[in-house]
């Protein structure tokens, strides 16, 4: 799965000369938290809701509403935006984008095409929704969690038993647990649960840790 498969393609952006008042309006009306800043077709910065709030007068100010609005109308995005923007290409694997976001502790990445043109944005929410879909959370079934050694053919053996017991695998994932071992999680629909448990009795490579009907 690539970034372009899950990114938000309709990107609301602003120019460096956009005022804080206008930027705030765009954030609120579109219920978003960040705005890429584009100049002559290229991304030159990004401004977040936090940036805008930090640049606004605090509630303790002695200024009246007219003075506040006047000040906000004079401050431009160019003055407060982050200039060194971390971006990602649209043909990058999704897990690479997630890794960048986790390592940099950022909530979104503007997405560029091969010509450096802004074509989308991928956020932590996009990745979270994809994670939910990949684990089959929106589909009923039985989730089985196994501990298996790092050896070839084990997932095949589990999948064959699922098939033989009438089940259909709708999601599968694995992750390291300890040195030389993995946890494998499968979500199955339509399986004869008792027959599946019986089929595992003679198979010592995969240890069934627990199962849940969801």
**Residue linked to tokens 């060194």:** 84
Q: What's the half-sphere exposure (Cβ side, CA atoms, 13 Å) at 93? A: 3
Q: Which helix (H) or strand (E) holds 141?
A: none
User: What is the rounded CA–CA span in Å between residue 202 and residue 161?
Assistant: 12
Which fold, 3-132? CBS-domain (3.10.580)
pLDDT, residue 51, reads 85
Q: What is the pLDDT tens value at each position of the chain, 214 positions in all? A: 999 999 999 999 999 999 988 998 999 999 999 999 999 889 999 999 888 877 655 443 444 455 555 666 678 899 889 999 999 999 999 999 999 999 999 999 999 999 989 999 999 999 999 988 888 888 889 999 999 999 999 999 999 999 999 999 999 999 898 888 999 999 999 999 999 999 999 888 999 999 998 8
pLDDT, residue 177, reads 84
Neighbours of 96 (CB within 10 A): 13
Question: Which residues touch 193 (CB under 8 Å, ≥6 apart)?
Answer: 142, 211
pLDDT, residue 72, reads 62
pLDDT, residue 71, reads 64
pTM for the full predicted model? 0.76
User: What is the rounded CA–CA span in Å between residue 16 and residue 123?
Assistant: 22
Closest CA to 3 of 133, 101, 96, 99: 96
What residue segments make up the domains of the chain, in order of their start? Answer: 3-132, 142-213
- Strand, coil or helix: 186: strand
User: What is the rounded CA–CA span in Å between residue 93 and residue 122?
Assistant: 12
Tell me which CATH code domain 142-213 carries. 3.30.70.260
């Amino acid at each position: 799965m690539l970034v372009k498969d899950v990114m938000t393609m309709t990107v609301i952006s602003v120019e460096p000369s956009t005022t804080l008042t206008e930027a705030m309006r765009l954030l609120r009306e579109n219920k978003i938290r960040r705005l890429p800043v584009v100049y002559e077709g290229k991304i030159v910065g990004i401004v977040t809701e936090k940036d805008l709030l930090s640049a606004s007068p605090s509630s303790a100010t002695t200024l009246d509403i007219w003075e506040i609005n006047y000040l906000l109308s004079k401050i431009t995005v160019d003055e407060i935006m982050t200039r060194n923007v971390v971006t990602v290409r649209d043909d990058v694997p999704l897990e690479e984008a997630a890794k960048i976001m986790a390592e940099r502790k950022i909530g979104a990445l503007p997405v560029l095409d091969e010509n450096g043109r802004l074509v989308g944005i991928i956020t932590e929410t996009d990745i979270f929704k994809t994670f939910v879909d990949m684990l089959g959370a929106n589909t009923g079934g039985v989730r089985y969690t196994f501990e298996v050694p790092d050896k070839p053919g084990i997932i095949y053996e589990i999948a064959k038993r699922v098939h033989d017991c009438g089940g259909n695998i709708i999601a599968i994932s694995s992750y390291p647990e300890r040195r030389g071992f993995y946890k494998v999680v499968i979500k199955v629909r339509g399986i004869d649960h008792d027959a599946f448990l019986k089929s595992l009795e003679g198979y010592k490579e995969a240890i069934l840790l627990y199962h849940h009907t969801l």
